Amino acid sequence: MRGRPFIAARIEKQINRRVGTTLRRFGWREHIVAYTGYGSEARLRVLARVIMLPKNAPALTATREEVWALRRGWRNFLAVPAVNRAVQVSVGGHVTDALTDRDGYVDIAVSRHGLNPGWHHVTISTGDFTVAEAPVLVISDEIRFGIVSDVDDTIITSYLPRLMIAAYNSFVLRESARIPVSGMATMYGSLLRQHPGSPLMYVSTGSWSTQPFLERFIARHGYPSGPMLLTNWGPTNTGWFRSGPAHKRASLAALARDFPRIKWLLVGDDGQHDPRLYSEFAVRHPDKVAGIAIRELPTVEQVLAHGGPVEMSGFPMMIPETVFEVRAPDGHTLLPLVQSILRNN
């Protein structure tokens, strides 16, 4: 059994800690990036990151659409984390303490939070009075339906995973140039109106650094708001890089555990690993799957994504007879197919 984290993780932690200490001497200050949390009536998950900013840097809370629309993607990835920083989460007068990890992230579980179902804000703070308000979605115990949505090539055209194309889309393009997938916002909005109070969870292998951009993209193009389960690129405690499929498997397993009564509509695309991952989940949890909806990439996107007109899911995997899968090129065509399988569920 490994007793210490992988060497790259230890090096990363030491570099981030020393850089942060040095920048504090030059007057840099802490800033809390609050992510969208979620939970049940019994337990809440609060997510955030603490980073360092120059003393006179403009606040990252600018809401002017034209400012963010002209921002290039590479700026989302420039951040100096505050390592091992004490953080407090206040919910209804109850305070929960935690420490940031080597990349400045915090993932805090709050029990007996006392919040009613619906959207709320909780307070996140550090010892030097840096404060942020984090949105959280409390899902009622009575809810029986929810949507899990992939992001890249499902709601936003990204041409992943080809490295150079993905890098250009993520780092060079302005935010206003990113293109939504036709009809997906309409489909999600329609399904959630038919199932009031049901959650939409965005699960992606994308970096947490892109979360603020994704929030703005979702709002700009009319997608329903929802918590995001992203990942932290870079070294792990066991290797150089994180596994995207492993992150998605873990996220789906967590949703099955945290919301045992919900049956999920799993929405993704055939450009990466979604069909196989969703099939695996359906085999393990057939009673927690309302259906599988796959956006079929056009041939040009398939070729740009991985060099040929075939999906990356590997060998096909049989799903239970009680779970239905539908496929179509966009949300407009998927919607009636999804509604059909939900009526038979």
The secondary structure of the chain, three-state, reads CCCCCCHHHHHHHHHHHHHHHHHHHCCCEEEEEECCEEECCCEEEEEEEEEEECCCCCCCCCCCHHHHHCCEHHHHHCCEECCCCEEEEEECCEEEEEECCCCCEEEEEEECCCCCCEEEEEEEEECCCCEEEEEEEECCCCCCEEEEECCECCCEECCCCCHHHHHHHHHHCEHHHCEECCCHHHHHHHHHHHCCCCCEEEEEEEEHHHHHHHHHHHHHCCCCCCCEEEECCCCCCCCCCCCHHHHHHHHHHHHHHHCCCCEEEEEEECCCCHHHHHHHHHHHCHHHEEEEEEECCCHHHHHHHHCCCCCCCCCCCCCCCCCCEEEECCHHHHHHHHHHHHHCC
pLDDT, the chain, mean: 80
Q: In this structure, what token pair is assigned to residue 104? A: 């400045």
Greatest mean pLDDT range, 166-180, 193-207, 291-305, 310-324: 193-207
Residue type, 45: R
Lowest mean pLDDT among 196-210, 218-232, 239-253, 307-321: 307-321
Q: To 10 degrees, what angle do helices 184-194 and 331-343 make?
A: 30
pTM over 0.85: no
Give the tens place of pLDDT for each residue, 88-146.
Answer: 999 988 899 999 988 889 999 999 899 999 999 999 998 766 789 999 999 999 999 99
Residue type, 202: Y
Give the tens place of pLDDT for each residue, 194-223.
Answer: 999 999 999 998 888 888 888 889 999 999
Count of Cβ atoms closer than 10 Å to residue 159 Cβ:
21
Q: Which residue has the tokens 């179902």?
A: 117
User: Which of residues 195 and 76 earns the better pLDDT score?
Assistant: 195
Lowest mean pLDDT among 41-50, 124-133, 335-344: 124-133
Average of pLDDT values for 45-64? 71
d(CA 41, CA 112): 8
Peptide bond into 245 cis (omega under 30): no
User: Do 279 and 134 meet the contact criterion of CB atoms below 8 Å apart?
Assistant: no
Average of pLDDT values for 160-166? 47
